[in-house]
Amino acid sequence: LCISGGLPQPTNITFLSINMRNILQWSPPEGLQGAEVTYTVQYFIYGQKKWLNKSECRNINRTCCDLSLETSDYEHQYYAKVKAIWERNCSKWAETGRFYPFLETQIGPPRVALTTDEKSISIVLTAPEKWKRNPEDSSISMQQIYSNLKYNVSIYNTKSNRTWSQYVTNHTLVLSWLEPDTLYCVRVESFVPGPPRLAQPSDKQCVHTLKDQASALKVKI
Amino acid sequence: GLRRCLISMDIHHIEEAFQEIKKTIQAKDPFQNVTILSTSETLHRIKPLDVCCMTKNLLAFYVDKVFKDHQELNPQILRKISSIANSFLYMQKALRQCQEQRQCHCRDEATNATRIIHSNYDQLEARSAAIKSLGELDVFLAWIDRNHQGTSA
C-alpha cells in the first residue's frame, strides 16, 4: 500500500494506436528527475463494471504499456489509467479520455511495389495488416475492417522538380505519359474518410523510367 | 436497407462537428460502467434489411429525446450540437420519403434493439442520459457510415 496523492501524477497519458496496435504512453511526473519511479496501469472497457489490471504493467520503470490485446475488440471503447509509485508514496491515477480504436487508430502505409517501362510506372499497393498477437496468427487486412480505405499517392519528378498526387481506391495504379530516362519518387499514405486521423506516409521509393528506345535506335543508324 | 433511401448524405461534416466537442462532452459523463447504445447488443446485430428502420428510430431518439433533454451553457458546444441536430432533421426528411415508398419496414429485430436503447436511457436521470448519448454519437455516426457507404460522399 502507498500514500495516495503523495506524488504528482504522470502527464500526457494517451493511446498511440497504429493498425490497432494500441500502446498506452505517458510522461513521468514533474519534479521527480533521478527518483526511481515505477508505474502501474489499469484499463476499463466502457459499459462494463470494473477496472482491470494489466499484470505485465505493474510496478514497471518504462513509460509505456502495450494494451493491444486488452483493446483488440475495436468496436468497443476503453479507458486506461496509470499511477506513479516511489518508495511509500504514489500519485493519484491519471486517466485517458475515452479511446475508440475503430475511429482513432492510425492506418499505416501500404506496401508499395513499382515496375517501370519507358513512359509509365505501375504501382501495386498492399493494404497494411491489423496488429496480431502472434506472428503465426492469421492476418487481417485493414481493408477488411475499413472497406472504404483509400490511398493518397504522391509522385515527384526529380528532373522537373514537380510533385503531384492523386487518390486511389483500388490497389493498382499506372502512371502514364511520363518522361523517359527520368527518376521518379513515390510516397503513399492510407486514408479512411471520416473523423480526422494521423497518417504515416510510406518510405520514399524511387524508380527510373527506361531510355526511349526510338531515340536510342536513331542514334545507332 | 437504407442504401436506397438515404439521399447522398455527407456524414463526414457531422463527424467533424462532433469531433470538436467529443472530448468535452465525454468528460462530462461520469458513468463509465453504463452505455446507452451498448453497441454489441444492439447496433452490431442489425442486418442490412433493418438498417433503414434502425436509422429512423435512432434519429428520432436523438431528435425527440437526447437533444431535448440536453442542457448546455457553452455556446460553442451548443452551436455544434445544433448543427448536428439540423443534419439529423435533414436525414429524417430523407427517410420520410423512403417510408412513403414503403422501403423502410420495421421488423422485430430493429424494434427490440431500439427498445433496449430507450430502456438504457430511461435508467439514468434525463440530463445524465442525454450527455451520455451525445458522448456516444461517434458510435452512431460510425455505424451510419458503415451501413450507408455508396450513398454518402
- Residue A52 confidence (pLDDT) above 60: yes
The reply to whether residue B33 touches residue A76, judged by beta carbons under 8 angstroms, is no
CATH number, position B23: 1.20.1250.10
Residues of A in contact with B16 (CB under 8 A): 195-196
The reply to whether residue A103 touches residue B142, judged by beta carbons under 8 angstroms, is yes
- Residue B9 confidence (pLDDT) above 70: no
pLDDT band at residue A216, thresholds of 50, 70 and 90?
Answer: low
In this predicted complex, what is the ipTM? 0.89
Residues of chain A contacting B, Cβ within 8 Å = 44, 46-50, 75-77, 79, 97-98, 100, 102-103, 147-148, 193-196
Q: Looking at the partner chain, which of A49, A75, A195 has a beta carbon nearest the beta carbon of B33?
A: A49
DSSP conformation letters of A170-203: SSEEEE-SPPTT-EEEEEEEEE-SSS---B-PPP
pLDDT band at residue A219, thresholds of 50, 70 and 90?
Answer: low
Closest CA to A125 of A151, A96, A103: A151
- The per-residue pLDDT for range A7-48, each reduced to its tens digit, is 999 999 999 999 999 999 999 999 888 889 999 999 999 999
Segments of chain A assigned to CATH 2.60.40.10? 3-103, 107-215
- The per-residue pLDDT for range A159-199, each reduced to its tens digit, is 999 999 999 998 999 999 999 999 999 999 999 988 888 88
The reply to whether residue B35 touches residue A147, judged by beta carbons under 8 angstroms, is no
Q: Which of A43, A79, A95, A103 to mutate to test the interface with B (most CBs of B within 10 A)?
A: A103
In a domain, B39, yes or no: yes
- Residue A87 confidence (pLDDT) above 60: yes
Answer whether A79's CB lies under 8 Å from A95's CB: yes
- Of A92 and B147, which is predicted with more confidence? A92
- Exposure letters A137-175 (e unless 16+ CB within 10 A, then b): eeeeebbebbeebbbebbbbbeeeeeeeeeebeeeebeb
The whole-angstrom distance between B68's CA and the closest CA on chain A is 24
- pLDDT on residue B8: 56
The whole-angstrom distance between A196's CA and the closest CA on chain B is 8
- Residue A211 confidence (pLDDT) above 90: no
> Chain A residue with minimal CA distance to B143?
A75
The reply to whether residue A195 touches residue B15, judged by beta carbons under 8 angstroms, is yes
The reply to whether residue A97 touches residue B27, judged by beta carbons under 8 angstroms, is yes
CATH architecture under which domain A107-215 falls: Sandwich (2.60)
- Residue A220 confidence (pLDDT) above 70: no
CATH architecture under which domain A3-103 falls: Sandwich (2.60)
Mean pLDDT across B15-31:
94
- Residue A105 confidence (pLDDT) above 80: yes
Q: How many domains does chain B have?
A: 1
The residue type of B40 is S
pLDDT averaged over chain A? 93
In a domain, B100, yes or no: yes
In a domain, B153, yes or no: no
Supply the range of the domain harboring residue B121: 2-147
Contact with chain A for residue B127, Cβ under 8 A: no
Q: Looking at the partner chain, which of B26, B33, B44 has a beta carbon nearest the beta carbon of A48?
A: B33
- The per-residue pLDDT for range B51-67, each reduced to its tens digit, is 989 999 999 999 999 99
